[in-house]
Chain A
Amino acid sequence: MTPTEPCWLRESADARTALVGFGNPLHGDDAIGPLVARRLYELLPGRENIDLLELCTSDFGLMERLVGYRRALIIDALVDEEAEVGALRRVDVAECADGPSVGLHTAGFGAALALARMLGLCVPVDIVIYGVVVRERFNFGDGLSEELEARFPEIVAAIAAAEGRQ
């Protein structure tokens, strides 16, 4: 199932997992989130309980899209000049409050999530974020850079292996 609407626009999304590919599919290596998420959707077990969400929106918009899900698995581009391109980092959601440069920045995702919880919204308790290191040189165009494309299979395999054990 690949819904195009937020889960709160549907009848019920209880006990489902949101597999989020966060990024712009037309923006060079920023497309890594949606591309990895698409591939993972084909590989992960229990697909009947997973919704694939390709999101290119604000962090507040991301929070809104997660309302109603039990679990969220988010794949995003990550800028880290000290790491090699394609390196995978599992990011603690707590880092999104005021931590270093994680993809889901701008004042944001941490505060938006805290707000949702303060208001009693049903946002996932279990949120896992995978950041894929890219270089900050996004230009419009479809397709990944050669160096990231070369790492794509192992990135997918690493996340699939980790998540397959969940």
Chain B
Amino acid sequence: MRRITIDPITRLEGHGKIVIFLNDQGEVANCYFQVPELRGFERFSVGRPVEEMPRITTRICGVCPEAHHMASAKACDAVYHADPPAAAKKLRELLYSCFYVGDHTLHFYALGGPDFVVGPDAPPAQRNVLGVIQKVGLEAGKKVIELRKRAQHAVSLIGGKAIHPVTSVPGGLAKPLTAEERDQILDHTNYFVEFAKFTLAVVQSVVLGNQAYVDMILSDTYTQRVYSMGTVDANNKVNFYDGMVRVVAPDGQEFVKFPPRDYLSVLAEHVEPWTYLKFPFLKRVGWKGFVDGKDSGVYRATPLSRLNAAEGMATPLAQEEYERMYAALGGKPAHYTLATHWARVIELMYAAERAAELVRDEEILSPKVRTVPTATPSEGVGCVEAPRGTLYHHYVTDERGILRRVNLIVGTTNNHAPIAMSIRQAAFGLIKRGSEITDGLLNRIEMAFRAFDPCFACATHSLPGKMPLEVQVFDSDGTLLASRKRGC
């Protein structure tokens, strides 16, 4: 038997390992995706005052600290039984929408985009953000930088800091927004919407205008029919900050819709001997192994699954693109893993439009941004849609508000099983008898999980960018045939 390992999976936040075993005929016999278990944040948190969590949990991840800040703040609201005033909820959602704009932009241009804009078989040295900008033009690069700058500025105005916001407290926010700050954010949101239009045009022309890419997106190699999870508002439209969690079956029928506090009654976790990281699944369907279909409890929580789980987008331009995407993909739900990149850009548009809506709401200037907690703290669940999947924070405290139990399910953890399945499927589909193990081939296997925008910094509770991932191919004798390993 031969074995293949990819090291590291580039443009991935965090660390992991793909190992591919080949049989005597040179075909894939098995494939494993491993990430190291570095859990400990829950244990580290126990014994601390719960109100510290919105500031501490931003340190879980350097890529999406805003998501942890929001989920944590909502959990604290629940722990203290303090419902924030409407202005505070709107300001939090505005901050979060601005964060989303910046985060999804970075993924499209720097992480996922290189595979499509530069090409999956391009030399590795060109398959990066530099290559993308060389292809779509310097002006695009300047727009990306400007967009990121404006998004971070908006986050800093509401959140107090540009990367690790600090202003959400139990019951609301620590400070209101001034009219001057609102005006600055308003200008930024106009830019966001124009930028989202520009990026959607790039997707149309550069990605969807290339038939080879479209064929790849629609190929069986990158197709996975599993359940889809996402948060929806009262009209079953996508919402990142608040709402009910909705899960639809592979055929699109609603399977369950639940308030986040009930997540433990819906989800369970499977354990495999070859990895410490657990595999969440839908409890009522059950764990049937790494298989797709209606009888398997595996689900996805990604931009594409959020769109699958909803009945539309709550803003007009995002809704237009939503309809265009599903018409192009042959209907809803869509199970094409690589279409997740398209869905992510639609979400970018939604976030931009939602921010533009919220910033025009006069209520955000209200000085009443906090409901001061008066009840005895106890237990609470906070949930938001992180860019990489549904994020749950669950805290239990004593009557003084000291944490006694903490449970986190982060975005990428939701997707652990489908990522493993997706890689396995790509390996089986792409490595044939006698295949030469080229860099391009290994990159196409990486693409199977890069679409998830996985952040194992969160999933393994480690710092992003510190520990890359490797891919190795071994033959039936255990001899290393090929590997990928890039630093920095």
Contact = CB atoms under 8 A, between A and B. Distances in A.
A118 interface: yes
Interface in A78-92: 79
B40 interface: yes
Contacts of A107: 10-11, 110-111, 128-129, 486, 488
A95 B488 CA distance: 7
Contacts of A119: 133, 138, 141-142, 145
Contacts of B106: 58, 60
A122 to B, nearest CB: 12
Contacts of A124: none
Interface stretch (A11-19, A108-116, A150-158): A108-116
Contacts of B41: 140
A95 B38 contact: no
Interface stretch (B149-157, B254-262, B302-310, B375-383): B149-157
B161 A4 contact: yes
Given A24-B62, A140-B461, A77 B110 contact: no
B163 interface: yes
Contact of B38 (A25, A112, A118, A138): A138
A57 B65 CA distance: 9
A55 B43 CA distance: 24
Given A55-B163, A57-B163, A108 B128 contact: yes
Contact of B62 (A6, A58, A95): A58
Contacts of A109: 488
A21 interface: no
B133 A115 contact: yes
B125 interface: yes
Interface in A103-155: 103-112, 114-116, 118-119, 121, 136, 138-141
Interface residues of B, number: 47
A92 B431 CA distance: 37
B251 to A, nearest CB: 37
Interface in A8-37: 8-9, 23-27, 30
State which size class the interface on A falls in: 35 or more
Interface centre among B38, B43, B138, B463 (most CB of A within 10 A): B463
Nearest to A24: B463
A56 interface: yes
A52 interface: no
A75 B347 CA distance: 36
Contact of B145 (A57, A97, A98, A121): A121
Nearest to B11: A107
Given A26-B44, A64-B148, A119-B138, A56 B164 contact: yes
Given A60-B106, A106-B464, A111-B129, A98 B124 contact: yes
B488 A110 contact: yes
B59 interface: yes
Interface centre among B106, B129, B138, B148 (most CB of A within 10 A): B129
B466 interface: yes
A22 to B, nearest CB: 9
A139 B461 CA distance: 8
B162 interface: yes
Contacts of A112: 110, 129
A66 interface: no
Nearest to A116: B145
Contacts of B163: 55-57, 61
A61 B62 contact: yes
Interface string B111-129: 1000000000000110011
A118 B138 contact: yes
A141 B59 CA distance: 11
Interface string B158-196: 000111100000000000000000000000000000000
Interface centre among A56, A100, A109, A110 (most CB of B within 10 A): A56
Given A5-B162, A115-B141, A105 B468 contact: yes
Interface in B206-256: none
A30 B488 contact: no
Nearest to A114: B130
Contacts of B12: 106
A114 B488 CA distance: 13
B59 A24 contact: yes
B10 A6 contact: no
Contacts of A95: 487-488
B466 A77 contact: yes
A111 B128 contact: yes
Nearest to A57: B62
A118 B152 contact: no
The 6 residue pairs across chains A and B that have the minimum distance between CB atoms: A96-B488, A140-B44, A111-B128, A140-B40, A107-B11, A101-B487
Interface of A: 4-6, 8-9, 23-27, 30, 55-61, 64, 77, 79, 95-112, 114-116, 118-119, 121, 136, 138-141
12 contacts: A6-B149, A55-B62, A60-B129, A100-B487, A102-B487, A105-B466, A105-B488, A108-B128, A108-B465, A109-B488, A136-B467, A138-B462
Given A119-B141, A139-B40, 12 more contacts: A4-B162, A6-B149, A24-B463, A27-B59, A57-B62, A101-B488, A104-B465, A105-B466, A106-B465, A115-B141, A119-B133, A140-B41
Interface of B: 8, 10-13, 38, 40-41, 43-44, 56, 59, 62-63, 106, 110-111, 124-125, 128-130, 133, 138, 141-142, 145, 148-149, 152-153, 156, 161-164, 461-468, 486-488
